[in-house]
Amino acid sequence: MATLDIRDLHVSVQTEDGAKEILRGVDLTVRSGETHAIMGPNGSGKSTLAYSVAGHPKYQVTSGSVTLDGVDVLDMTVDERARAGLFLAMQYPVEVPGVSVSNFLRTAKTAIDGEAPKLRTWIKDVNTALDKMSMDRDFAQRNVNEGFSGGEKKRNEIMQLELLNPRFAILDETDSGLDIDALRVVSEGVNRFSAQGDRGVLLITHYTRILRYITPDYVHVFVAGRIAEQGGAELAERLEAEGYDRYVRAGSGAVAVGEPASS
């Protein structure tokens, strides 16, 4: 069983007025076979957590730790984190002009595995993944995300997840901008990934609609850079009914309640 362990994580970003602290002591443990949902209002630090774990240079970890099976993740370069088994599906996938989807993914797969997949097998795998995501096979030859709709970009992210098959997937608002059909297809892709039994998912979202398709084992409410409350899937339903107002009213002094933010 693999474990992604985040302990007392503090993260800042540089602004014109100096360093601004975004994460203020996050404790979270995700084990293989578990799906964790992080929910919270805009500006609460959810995406900062995702990008900090992935290694985005904009975010400075000032204290705390992130380990993967006891190995220090923060001491790894971004590509080393990917090879160790971390995957980030971005909220706003970027365009990569001049690089086809198939070549982009084959290069990534080669970097992670240490050897290039056989071309004939790779083409078959890519076509199968495209079929599962209800995408035309022509997408394999198009430039990465160039001219893609918002839904196509998100489907492409989950297709990458399927082909690269990491140990832990961090999905940053993968449901944003999706219509009903795309939401279902994307959710099915995430469920196929987690159904392997030895994969962990950290799903960041504002809304409960994706949780109608993906049932989390744990739900964490993120407010003011901390986990303010946590529970099971029933907590998401309560948030749907009540919203985040009572957490926001607590302001920047929000602290974790109940059990420690781990499982």
Instruction: Work out how many domains the chain is built from and give that number.
Output: 1
Give 139-150 pLDDT, tens digit per residue.
999 999 999 999
Q: What is the pLDDT of residues 184-218, one digit of tens each?
A: 999 999 999 999 999 999 999 988 999 999 999 99
Q: Which domain holds residue 44?
A: 3-253
pLDDT of 251 > 80? The answer is no
Which tokens sit at 249? 């009213």
Is 119 among the domain residues? yes
| Helix H or strand E encompassing 207 | none
75: domain CATH number is: 3.40.50.300
What global pTM score does this model have?
0.90
Whether 177 is in a domain gets the answer: yes
**pLDDT digit string (tens) for 118-139?**
998 999 999 999 999 999 999 9
The position carrying tokens 């998100």 is 154
Residue 260 lies in a domain: no
Residue 166, C-beta contacts closer than 8 angstroms, at least 6 positions apart: 82, 85, 86, 87, 112, 199
pLDDT tens digit string along 19-50? 999 999 999 999 999 999 999 988 899 999 99
- Residue closest to 126 by CA, chosen among 148, 103, 146: 103
In-domain check, residue 229: yes
Q: Kindly state whether residue 145 falls inside one of the protein's structural domains.
A: yes
Q: Phi first, then psi: what are they for 153, rounded to 5°?
A: -60, -40
> Does residue 205 fall inside a structural domain?
yes
In a domain, 262, yes or no: no
User: Is residue 257 over pLDDT 50?
Assistant: no
Domain-embedded: residue 114: yes
Gyration radius of the chain's alpha carbons: 18
